Amino acid sequence: MKGRYDEENLKWIAPLIILVIVLPFLLRGATFSYRYYLYVLNIAGIYTILTVGLDLLSGYTGLISLGHAGFLAIGAYTSAVLVDQAGVPFGLSLIVSPLITGLFGILVGFPALRISGMYLGLTTMGFGFIVRRLIIALRTWTEGSAGLEVSKPVLFGFTFANDWHNYFLIYLFVIVVVVFARRVMKSKIGRALMAIRDSEHAAQAVGINLVRYKLFAFFLSAVLAGLAGVLFAHTMRFISTDHFDILLSIYFLIMVLVGGVATIYGAVLGTLFIVLLDFLAIPLFKDWLASFMAVQVADIQSLIFGCIMFLFIIFQPMGLYGMWLKMRIYWKLFPFNPKIKQT
Amino acid sequence: MTDMLGGLAQEVVSGIALGCIYALIALGFTLIYKATEVVNFAQGELMMVGAYVNFFIVTALLDIPMLDGALGFLLAFAGAVAFAFLFGTFLDLIINRPLKDEPVFSVIMATISMAIILRAVMALIAGPMTRLPLSPFGSGVIKVGGLFISVHDLFIISSAIVLVCGFYYFFNRTKWGIAMKATSEDPMAASLVGIPVKKVYRNVWIFSMVVATIGGVLLAPRTLLDTNMGFLGLKAFPAAVLGGFGSVPGAIVGGVIMGVIETVSMGTLSFYFPWVKEINDIVVWIVLIAVLMIRPAGILGREEIERV
């Protein structure tokens, strides 16, 4: 059933898709260093695919995962090994590797049937650690901690040679994933997952199969993370265990939170915000600061990052998407705004 | 054979010392979790801050001839604890107060960003160098029946035991401790029966900062003092969970089990599986996940029974 707010959201989709398509051309017209901006946007796009999946799992279903960098790593390494060492075509790997990652997701999901809350967060964190160690241990295929070079993506005979090509490949998937996730979450499955988050007992009482839906949430989330991993491996063209740090898993959760929990658009906004902040805004700012303070640049970078995160959580706990909703309501009611009292 | 057993025993002893370090950090996690259900991811960083404050005061006092020995250390320790009081109050004011009606998830994220901030600020103040504070207990080693243990480790073990016993008594026998437990059950009901909930929260943050400072001061001579010391918090976190999050004796049980598993597996398994680097990390996590599968609330944790 379509509600009024659904239609309002749909109104924005066409202009946004056009913006996504036009943006690289605008950037090329406007700046010399557009290749770097495209590179940053590509990273944001890859992370977006993952954080949308994380939002499905942690935001909608309430199963906190601190191990999503592990799924990203599995997707990336599986695809790298399949394509470069087993000779599987990239197109096939694009389907198979996420599915393999999804199987790992189910494996991690089994503890989730008994464990909840922070205990689950910790179990998934342990999973992230184990994946990193295993990648180092299986160095016959993965080259250990030295890192692995990966081939360019080739699809239907077309080679995606640079960031310009990769941009369209990645954002095609971003759009598909976002639309797909929105639809899934409005379907019976999505409502079942939200019911599980709100009360497991009540969900079970109305006949939701907890085992099946929880495992499905883990599977779906891991598939999306695996997809992000495949794209990461083949567009960055170099992967090593340093790319899949435990801190990255925490940053993914921060991205979801900054964007707004349990709103797919929030995950997109949050990821864009954090990645752009990390790669574009902070470097500008830190050079300016370092010009009159003799300190380590990396420290300033993490200081600013931490402060922005902190202020955001204190003052805007509903996230960027919540901010946008508030603004929209404000404009709609414009001259007759009721004074909203913050409680 | 006796040689191997002796080596194993030595590893168990050093594992217990390492475990007590984890226990000290885990205790800080437990305190905050017990009263507010918040997992404080900045616990390791709080420890680092406490250790640095102590170190700065000790070095400042070195120039005064009277105060370059044990007395100076005691003064510095008192100063660090006083700082911990102030800083704990400050943390409560900026993290806990503004977020008291938000979901626990947001508060956890706030502590994570606080961890990032503290690490960066400390790096800016102290510089990138690693410091080596001297142990106030000297560098003596005691030999007991073929086993070696340093005096400093003995102090770590004993202070962990004292703190755990102290807090166990506090939470089960004293008025304030029971008030804290009541607050964690249900803040609304607690305030209805006259418990000053805000004060309880503030005290919890102060306690946990003080425990972190004590831990940091004891750890610094053993692990070297730099801004990455806080990452120990991430290793103490599984220890706290293994023992049962929110259980005071669980902190030391989990800590010691983790420490022993870590040193023993490093000593034995890495011998047989040289191709897996740092196999102890994997073993620790596998044990943890296995234990959680059997007892989802940790070894000593109580499973929460919800009323629907």
Task: Please tell me the predicted confidence (pLDDT) of residue A143.
Answer: 77
CA distance B78 to chain A (A): 29
Q: Which phi and psi (to 5°) does residue B102 adopt?
A: -85, 160
> Does residue A322 sit at the B interface (CB-CB below 8 Å)?
no
Contact criterion met (CB < 8 Å) for A257 and B105:
yes
Measured between CA atoms, the residue of chain B closest to residue A343 is B101
> Does residue B245 sit at the A interface (CB-CB below 8 Å)?
yes
Bridge partners of B148, per DSSP, are B143
* Cβ atoms of residues A252 and A47 within 8 Å: yes
From chain B residues 122-181, the ones with a CB under 8 A of any chain A CB are 123-124, 128
Q: How far apart are CA A217 and CA B15, in angstroms?
A: 39
Number of domains in chain A: 1
CATH number at residue A79: 1.10.3470
Higher pLDDT, A102 or A324: A102
Q: What angle is formed at CA B165 by the lines to CA B160 and CA B171, rounded to 5 degrees?
A: 125
Location of structure tokens 């999946």? A53
Burial class (CB in 10 A: 0-12, 13-18, 19+), B305: exposed
Query: Is residue A102 in a domain?
Result: yes
Closest CB from B106, B277, B308 relative to A257? B106
From first to last of the 308 residues of chain B, give the pLDDT tens digit: 566 677 778 888 888 888 888 888 888 888 888 777 778 888 888 988 988 888 888 888 877 766 666 777 788 888 889 999 999 999 888 888 887 777 777 787 788 888 888 888 888 887 777 777 776 676 677 777 777 788 888 888 888 889 888 888 888 888 888 888 888 778 888 889 888 888 888 888 898 899 889 888 888 887 778 777 777 777 788 888 888 877 888 888 888 888 888 888 877 766 666 665 566 777 888 888 888 778 777 777 766 665 55
Over the stretch B16-39, which tens digit does the pLDDT of each residue have?
888 888 888 888 888 888 777 778
Radius of gyration over alpha carbons of chain B, in Å?
20
Q: How far apart are CA A70 and CA A37, in angstroms?
A: 27
Task: Please tell me the predicted confidence (pLDDT) of residue A103.
Answer: 94
pLDDT mean over A126-136: 85
A303 chain-B contacts, CB cut-off 8 A? 116-117, 120-121, 124
- H-type helices in chain A, by residue range? 4-30, 34-54, 68-85, 90-112, 117-137, 139-142, 163-186, 188-198, 200-205, 210-236, 246-259, 264-276, 282-290, 297-315, 319-332
Domain residues for the domain of A171 are 4-264
Measured between CA atoms, the residue of chain A closest to residue B307 is A201
> Does residue A290 sit at the B interface (CB-CB below 8 Å)?
no
Closest CB from B116, B128, B275 relative to A306? B116
> Does residue A138 sit at the B interface (CB-CB below 8 Å)?
no
Closest CB from A133, A137, A302 relative to B120? A302
Where is B210: in which H helix or E strand? helix B197-223
Query: Is residue A278 in a domain?
Result: no
Count of CB atoms within 10 A of residue A138's CB?
Answer: 15
* Cβ atoms of residues B62 and B69 within 8 Å: no
Choose, out of B38, B285, B286, the residue to mutate when testing the contact with A (most A CBs < 10 Å): B285
> Does residue B305 sit at the A interface (CB-CB below 8 Å)?
no
Higher pLDDT, B304 or A272: A272
Predicted complex ipTM? 0.74
- Give every CB contact of residue A181 below 8 A, 6+ residues apart in sequence: A52, A53, A55, A56, A224, A264
Strand bridging mode A238-239 / B147-150: unpaired
Q: How far apart are CA A231 and CA A153, in angstroms?
A: 8
Measured between CA atoms, the residue of chain A closest to residue B129 is A296
Query: What percent of chain A has pLDDT above 90?
Result: 17
- Give every CB contact of residue A73 below 8 A, 6+ residues apart in sequence: A131, A132, A135, A229, A239, A241, A243, A244
Distance of CA B146 to the CA centre of its chain: 30
CA distance B274 to chain A (A): 10
Closest CB from A114, A115, A253 relative to B109? A253
Query: Is residue A287 in a domain?
Result: no
Location of structure tokens 């007759």? A336
Query: Is residue A271 in a domain?
Result: no
Task: Please tell me the predicted confidence (pLDDT) of residue A237.
Answer: 83
* Cβ atoms of residues A87 and A221 within 8 Å: no
Contact criterion met (CB < 8 Å) for A118 and B113:
no
Q: State the pTM of this model.
A: 0.82
A296 chain-B contacts, CB cut-off 8 A? 123-124, 128
Q: What 3-state class would DSSP assign to A159?
A: strand
Query: Is residue A286 in a domain?
Result: no
- Give every CB contact of residue A111 below 8 A, 6+ residues apart in sequence: A120, A123, B289, B292, B293
Location of structure tokens 């226990």? B23
Contact criterion met (CB < 8 Å) for B292 and A119:
yes
